[in-house]
Amino acid sequence: MTQTSASSSQRPRIAVIGYGSQGRAHALNLRDSGFDVTVGLRPGGPTSLRAREDGFIVRTPVEAVASADLIAVLTPDMVQPQLYAETIAPNARQGATLLFAHGFNVHFGQIAPRADLDVVLVAPKGPGALVRREYEIGRGVPCVWAVHQDPAGRAEAHAMAYAAGLGGTRANVIRTTFKEETETDLFGEQAVLCGGASALVQAGYETLVEAGYQPEIAYYEVLHELKLIVDLFYEGGITRMLEFISETAQYGDFVSGPRIVDAGTKARMKAVLSEIQDGTFARNWIAEYRAGLPNYTAFKQADLAHPIEETGRRLRASMRWLQANREASSTTQDAADKAAAAA
């Protein structure tokens, strides 16, 4: 494994708090880059067992925080304020660096970091599995980074060293702010990547089925084939997509796309962005979480119960390549787990 070069002053002792998809990828990449990494987890949980199997020293969050120069907070957004108040604030070393992978809690005031702490953000632009996989083959996932406060004067150096340890500097690193990262990330999720795409697919499916077309045909046309288009977007933007679709599809794109996503759609996107910017979304989400997630649960169940999901389950059962891909991914991950444990 090629290790990232960094001087000893740029290699803080790191406590990774949380061992989900991102936490595990960060911890493994940083260790393989030569950093001293401890994982902070509650004892006895499944993630604690997995981290030990991966060869990490696992300490309680309090112990991990107290011994670290850099504390990487990689737990879900909604548990971070309590984690900070009860574990990090009372135990972090004077002048330590506090690192987040998403700026939500700092930007919206749910966490007010101690004045002596350097506070930074490093956010890979990809899921944890991709962050790990790209690192293992000698590449990296681009990262954005930001500095919120810098009293000890090490914030930028620690952020860049951390991004390099993840493999981000092999690809691209872009400086941002906590405000920009948080607001654009939330907007992308809500208006396009998750909320917008899901709603568009469901509406397309309903339109075809209500017009009398077979659900299976509707599924293929509005969901299954979406991957083909997204892959082209990912590889080369709209330009590459236009290179690979038929002239008939291009003409339909030109004349019908603006009728679906029109000025009214853009105006509603601006309203969504405004609610993110003024804190309305954050306040609503925090209140929802504190109330026990009643609306969240109902919304999620409605998506899971949508007819397109049942149609998709039946059709995907005959797509043998999907099962082969899952089995290959599982085999690759098992091999990586064993190699890490043996290291």
Taken as a whole, the chain contains a residue count of: 343
Percent of the chain as helix, strand, coil, to the nearest 5: 65, 10, 25
Spatial distance between the Cα atoms of 246 and 276, rounded to a whole number of angstroms: 38
Residues 6+ apart with CB under 8 A from 264: none
| Binding positions | 19-22, 42, 47, 128, 185, 189, 221, 225, 246
Distance between start and end Cα atoms, the chain? 11
Residue 109 in tokens: 């005031």
Mark the binding-site residues for NADP(+), compressed into ranges: 19-22, 42, 47, 128
**Tokens describing residue 334:** 């098992």
> 20, 47 in Cβ contact below 8 A?
yes
Number of H helices, E strands in the chain: 18, 8
The answer to whether the beta carbons of residues 232 and 241 sit under 8 Å apart is yes
Active site residue 102: yes
Which of these is catalytic: 102, 107, 148, 158? Answer: 102
User: Using an 8 Å Cβ cutoff, are 111 and 80 in contact?
Assistant: yes
Q: List binding-site positions for substrate.
A: 246
DSSP H or E run through 122: strand 118-124
Which residues sit in the known binding site for Mg(2+)? 185, 189, 221, 225
Instruction: State how beta strands 143-149 and 70-73 pair.
Output: unpaired
DSSP letters along 31-69, please? HHTT--EEEE--TTSHHHHHHHHTT-EEE-HHHHHHT-S
User: Which residues are the active-site residues?
Assistant: 102
